[in-house]
Structure 1
Amino acid sequence: MTELKGLNTAVKVPPLGAEGAGIYIHIPFCKQACHYCDFHFSTTMGKKEAMVLALCKELELRKDEFAGIMVETIYFGGGTPSVLDTEEIAQLIATVYTNYYIAEHPEITLEANPDDLTPKKILELAKSPVNRLSIGIQSFFDEDLKLMNRAHSANEAIASLSLATRHFDNISIDLIYGMPNMSAERWKANIEKALSFNIPHISSYVLTVEPKTALYDFVKKGLVKPAPDEVAQAHFDILNETLTRAGYACYEISSFGKPGYFSKNNSAYWQQKKYIGIGPSAHSFDGQRRGWNINNNPKYIRALNNGELPMEVEVLSTTDKYNEYVMTGLRTVWGVSLDRVAREFGIKYKEYLILQADKYINEHLLFTDGDLLLATNKGKFLADGIAADLFIVKMK
């Protein structure tokens, strides 16, 4: 057995030919609430130590779910995982290594905000088992960051990348487009600034107005006017064209990576590999069932202290699994396999899919390549809506 960088825990060698899977750890804390965010988090840090212990306990209680399965990715999401001390991050990773079989070179990603990435923090992380950073830049313009209520400034975004790129090779950043009053020129400037750091992976999302967020209230009161759909579409086209020319592949609608730098965590999700979600509000998937944890920090901690799993589980029907496969597959370069649909769900599902897809093929939003159904460049931005029209409510 070998030892992992920064840990004293010996690695458990996975069985030969073990199936690959991932572990997602949700860190439900943020310094302040972004106006657009509807993820589960708390701005009160008083329960952070108790939360880390509860997360470790859930990891221990759920190890049998991955008996004989090899963990290829560990992903710290949130919330803001970078609010954790490096010792707390190491404690959680050590708990994974103690209880699960781990691939020889797992991808271990930490989501981080620029204001947390001080020189000291980056050096500590570089010495830790974390080997990939996902930095929430969102924009290089203070005007955008203030509208979003981000905790960092444009200068902090630039400083964090300048330092992080000296110590980490595998870095992803988040950028948001479709911002109110964001011109095509400012969006291009955001992309060009990102490219100037030679970042190998960029995740980019359209700004959406989610219920129960501050942004939703601002829009409802007329204080903020959302960007029209055609503007967001134009921003996506600029993004796709610019990054493609720069050598990135759009392997999933919101994910652009250089060769060798596709996110293993993201790819596993879109290819429907198994994963365990640890922490309040985290979701899990094993191919047959989907589970989700309670989205309440005190109740989550209390349940784990009592040795209970605060999780609900839904057994997926054949139609549920078909719908999920269409939704995930259509967003990616791997597409939707018509043969797989027939094999796993039944010939009626394949016939329905072909029939429903025909109009989108005629509109040049979808196309077929051998066995695969894929979105065209024109159809990528609309893929979620198209997929919903390919869903089956109930198979007759």
Structure 2
Amino acid sequence: MPVSDKNRAPDPGFGLYYHWPFCRKKCPYCDFNSHVREAVDQSRWTAALLTELGWFSARVSPKRLTSIFFGGGTPSLMEPETVAALIDGAKRYFEFADDIEITLEANPTSVEAASFAAYRQAGVTRLSLGVQSMRDEALKFLGREHSVSEALNAIELARTHFSNISFDLIYALPGQTPAAWRSDLAEALSLAGDHFSLYQLTIEPNTGFAGAVRRGEFQVPPEDEAETLFEITQSVCVEAGWPAYEISNHARPGFECRHNLTYWRYGEYLGIGPGAHGRIVEAGVRTAYQQKKRPESWLAAVETDSHGTDIVAPLPSQEERAEEMLLMGLRLEEGVWHENFEAVIGAPMTRFIRRDRLDQLIEAGLMTEDAQRLRATTKGRLVLNSLLPEILV
């Protein structure tokens, strides 16, 4: 959600994430908690997800829900009745904001696109499409099941049902030239979208691509070439009126992803389902949760204990919370608001920052600061992981 008053800290919001861990196939670049299963009992899974939601709802103070996000896996493999039941279930436990954002990730295959109208009727307000590329040869390399033609048709169909659509693209592919990426990006920006997530291809451990790289089947572009593609991304998007509000995310003004802003603004959120992460304040302590990753293990635990929690990690120290909040918030163009920081951490930001080092980074054009907030510049966000250790006390 955009900030209406640029001198006032925004409400971080309170989010709910449902993880649907199932896919038709595993993409070779994907390291998400996704699994291929021949059959899924959706009624059983719906009951389990709602059981875990009920268990967590008793552990947070009453809050108004500002966003719901269906992620995966492939949430567009969910029956519309499943989605409707999970939205209705959330209403039993939480008050909904009048303008609640409810996002569902979807693959742009013709089969899954056929459910778009029913998802809208179920209560989904925002669709996020995994387009990934504007070129068929790249889609084949990435292991995607759809074609560019199917993606374009899915975008057009989505627009008839949703006033807020997003899609993902992956760049820095092997052999991708700056001219080719500029052309693909310009084509994508010409489509009727509201939000883009633009990610550089990274080779994650234990993925199909990791094995392919070890075998010498391909190599990703070197760092300097990838940086050139990133710079093209920023300049093309800015010229088109799609500034980066976060390192990899661009939106028309007013269409920033509210759910993800809750993460980056260090708000509270519940993570429901296999492998889901959550951050809530429980008994006055900010606590990180992670659920069991394997679907069958999670399901058995929920049906026995009402939840499938695998890891509980309280963050009692101000130093831990301060570092996490700065790491998340400095990804945003808006930066970290002093007002929000002190409200969450319980102490002013100045207590955790080395003033001399911050002044040097400001002088170098990597950070900025005013009375309201601390920000990393576009240049600084490129090297954020190395900036933070420099400024922390």
Please give the TM-score of this superposition, normalised by the length of structure 2. 0.89
Pair 1:20–1:226, CA change in 2 (3 A): closer
CA contact (8 A) 1:27 1:77 kept: yes
Question: Residue type matched to 1:37 in 2?
Answer: C
Supply the distance in 1 between the matched residues of 2:106 and 2:200 (Cα, whole angstroms).
Answer: 20
- CA deviation string 1:225-278 (max 9, x = no partner): 111112221122111111112222321111111121111101111111110000
**1:169 pairs with 2:163:** yes
Supply the distance in 2 between the matched residues of 1:329 and 1:105 (Cα, whole angstroms).
Answer: 23
**1:88 pairs with 2:82:** yes
- CA deviation string 1:153-208 (max 9, x = no partner): 22211111122112211001111122221111221122112212131111111111
**1:32 pairs with 2:25:** yes
- SS of the aligned residue for 2:312 comes to strand
Using the TM superposition, name which of 78-87 and 125-134 deviates more. 125-134
> What RMSD in Å do the two structures reach over aligned CA positions?
2.3
Supply the distance in 1 between the matched residues of 2:250 and 2:114 (Cα, whole angstroms).
Answer: 29
Q: CA deviation at 1:103?
A: 1.5
Question: Residue type matched to 2:328 in 1?
Answer: T
Where do 5+ consecutive residues of structure 2 fail to align? 1-10
- SS of the aligned residue for 2:271 comes to strand
Question: Residue type matched to 1:328 in 2?
Answer: M
Q: CA deviation at 1:52?
A: 2.6
Instruction: Name the residue aligned to 1:334.
Output: 334
Q: CA deviation at 1:390?
A: 4.1
Supply the distance in 2 between the matched residues of 1:136 and 1:370 (Cα, whole angstroms).
Answer: 39
Map 1:346-357; keep pairs closer than 5 Å.
Answer: 350=351, 352-357=353-358
- SS of the aligned residue for 1:189 comes to helix
Aligned residues: 375
Q: CA deviation at 1:26?
A: 0.5
Pair 1:169–1:384, CA change in 2 (3 A): farther
Instruction: Name the residue aligned to 2:114.
Output: 120
Map 1:30-109; keep pairs closer than 5 Å.
Answer: 30-49=23-42, 50-109=44-103
Supply the distance in 1 between the matched residues of 2:244 and 2:53 (Cα, whole angstroms).
Answer: 33
Question: Residue type matched to 1:383 in 2?
Answer: L
Instruction: Name the residue aligned to 2:253.
Output: 259
Supply the distance in 1 between the matched residues of 2:331 and 2:221 (Cα, whole angstroms).
Answer: 23
Pair 1:309–1:184, CA change in 2 (3 A): same
Question: Residue type matched to 1:21 in 2?
Answer: F
Pair 1:114–1:237, CA change in 2 (3 A): same
Instruction: Name the residue aligned to 2:312.
Output: 313
Pair 1:347–1:108, CA change in 2 (3 A): closer
Q: CA deviation at 1:219?
A: 1.3
Please give the TM-score of this superposition, normalised by the length of structure 1. 0.88
Supply the distance in 2 between the matched residues of 1:108 and 1:65 (Cα, whole angstroms).
Answer: 22
Pair 1:46–1:348, CA change in 2 (3 A): closer
Supply the distance in 2 between the matched residues of 1:211 and 1:120 (Cα, whole angstroms).
Answer: 34
Instruction: Name the residue aligned to 1:11.
Output: none
Query: What is the aligned-residue identity percentage?
Result: 32
CA contact (8 A) 1:338 1:350 kept: no
CA contact (8 A) 1:82 1:116 kept: no
CA contact (8 A) 1:19 1:70 kept: no
Instruction: Name the residue aligned to 1:381.
Output: 382
- CA deviation string 1:84-141 (max 9, x = no partner): 1111111111111122221122111000011166553122223220010010111111
**1:300 pairs with 2:268:** no
Instruction: Name the residue aligned to 1:150.
Output: 144
Match for 1:243 among 237, 244, 249? 237
Using the TM superposition, name which of 250-259 and 347-356 deviates more. 347-356
CA contact (8 A) 2:335 2:375 kept: yes
Match for 1:286 among 275, 280, 295? 280
- SS of the aligned residue for 2:22 comes to coil
- CA deviation string 1:33-54 (max 9, x = no partner): 1111111011114234233321
- SS of the aligned residue for 1:114 comes to coil
Instruction: Name the residue aligned to 2:7.
Output: none
CA contact (8 A) 1:81 1:112 kept: yes
Supply the distance in 2 between the matched residues of 1:82 and 1:354 (Cα, whole angstroms).
Answer: 48
Supply the distance in 1 between the matched residues of 2:115 and 2:347 (Cα, whole angstroms).
Answer: 52
